[in-house]
Chain A
């Protein structure tokens, strides 16, 4: 059974710092990996989707990488802002089955 782990569980950084969130998975036979952002009490907003044949995806200040062979993905956030404060979740999928990580709670301090 696929297991997805995110480290760290919580992270607090001063505004302007660059930061990296980590996601690891045990079964490399995945179709894609997706990063989400979730604000308290709200739904999940998709940030980036990386297909299994891709190595990375970029959107604005966000860059996500995927290394299937090692079962790892990273989400890089450049020049962090207080508005980036949220919980970040990764999910891996195969055959329309999705497995979520445990999430990283990010706080960006003004």
Chain B
């Protein structure tokens, strides 16, 4: 089966600019997750979708981050405006209940 697709792989932007990341989960996986992983730390959940509804966005900085899951399939995560501390790897994952996660290869964001 095809894996979780993410793009772009790398992005460098200046602070105060905006950026968007895209994720296409594994076909049939109802649950989609966005994680932020800062260098040297474990992944931190930003938002979890079940189909096109939000299950958990308690750690999403809503003043600058937004996410949507179009028609319960693809998802985009946007940051506007970016800050230096947003430099991290952004990971998308999908899951089928009881079968564990599958992660994409991630997008490395550098804010300068």
Contact = CB atoms under 8 A, between A and B. Distances in A.
User: Most chain-B Cβ atoms within 10 A of its Cβ — which of A34, A43, A96, A97?
Assistant: A43
Given A97-B56, A98-B33, A103-B42, A43 B103 contact: yes
Given A32-B100, A34-B100, A96-B97, A43 B42 contact: no
A91 B43 CA distance: 10
Contacts of B43: 44, 89, 100
A42 interface: yes
A41 interface: yes
Interface residues of A, number: 23
A46 B102 contact: yes
B105 A42 contact: yes
B100 A46 contact: yes
B42 A51 contact: no
Interface string A73-110: 00000000000000001010101111011110000000
Given A98-B101, A100-B43, A44 B91 contact: yes
A45 B103 contact: yes
Contacts of A96: 31, 48, 50, 55, 95, 97
Nearest to B92: A43
B100 to A, nearest CB: 4
A101 B93 CA distance: 16
B25 interface: no
14 contacts: A31-B97, A31-B98, A34-B101, A41-B106, A42-B106, A43-B104, A44-B101, A46-B102, A49-B99, A89-B42, A93-B101, A96-B48, A96-B95, A98-B95
Interface of A: 31-32, 34, 36, 41-46, 49, 51, 89, 91, 93, 95-98, 100-103
